[in-house]
Amino acid sequence: MSRNLIVAANWKLNKGPADATAFLDAFVPKVEAFAGSAEIVIAAPFVTIPSVVAQLAGNSRIAVAAQNCSEQESGAFTGEVSAAMLKEVGAQYIITGHSERRSIYGESDATINAKNKAILAQGLKPIFCIGETLEEREGGKLESVLRTQITDGLKDIDSLENIVIAYEPVWAIGTGVTATAEQAQDTQQFVRSVIAELYNQETADAVQIQYGGSVKPGNAGELLGQQDIDGALVGGAALEADSFFGILENSAQ
């Protein structure tokens, strides 16, 4: 089964509109001259999304994502932003379940499930993150933790056609420590097997599963060359146009 690669930049709390413009000024010409088929996604801070969308108008190779949204549609939820609002300003993807949202902001699997549903209801696509801590991996809980995150995060969602899963071991995010290609492949194969149990083999074969955790140009080729790794979610190395493009170049199929 061949699945297209999807390589996404997660800018986190970095890049207001001016910095984003400078990044795209350098990045877009490189992409235009690049023959690889990977889908490229830029997950920008909320306030940066409109300028990124405007700068990418007419560019069909780079999609724009938000890094979070409310599970609510509207109402008295001060400081929140809905999936419908993000659709209105041109986002196509929204990241959910990122380990920073889970650990710093206390998001539960139930909240993440509600966000996934709110996003799908708008015709947008969640990039749904899962991943274990080092303590959980070393304590033999890797499979049970991932199974719970997947089962509860996808509860009552009938189709995965518009969902991308991102496997991000928490111990590899922003630490410079990368899972070995073998660890990532074995775990992603397990994630796919859980999807086959919950849905069916056809769905499991079709769903795109990204790897995230200290991906850089130097390790992208080996990681993204694994059978069950269909792209990357990239934090630190996606802040510079050269290194984000280097990941794309080194992962070309």
Closer residue to ligand PEP, CB minimum distance, 33 or 45 = 45
Query: Minimum CB separation from ligand PEP for residue 243, in Å?
Result: 10
- Confirm whether 98 is a catalytic residue: yes
Residues in the chain: 253
Closer residue to ligand PEP, CB minimum distance, 207 or 233 = 233
Closer residue to ligand PEP, CB minimum distance, 59 or 246 = 246
CB atoms within 10 A of CB 5: 21
CA atoms of 240 and 244, how far apart (whole Å)? 6
Query: Minimum CB separation from ligand PEP for residue 213, in Å?
Result: 5
Strands (DSSP E) contained in the chain are 6-10, 39-43, 62-66, 93-96, 125-130, 164-167, 209-212, 231-234
**What residues line the site for ligand PEP (CB under 6 A)?**
10, 168, 173-174, 212-215, 233-237
Query: Minimum CB separation from ligand PEP for residue 174, in Å?
Result: 4
Query: Minimum CB separation from ligand PEP for residue 195, in Å?
Result: 20
Q: In the structure encoding, which two tokens stand for residue 11, read together?
A: 């800018």
* Residue among 98, 100, 107, 136 flagged as catalytic: 98
Q: Are 168 and 178 in contact (CB under 8 A)?
A: no
* Residue among 80, 138, 168, 202 flagged as catalytic: 168
Which H or E element spans position 250? helix 241-250
Closer residue to ligand PEP, CB minimum distance, 84 or 246 = 246
Which H or E element spans position 127? strand 125-130
Q: How many helices (H) and strands (E) does the chain have?
A: 11, 8
- Confirm whether 136 is a catalytic residue: no
Please give the positions annotated as active site.
Answer: 98, 168
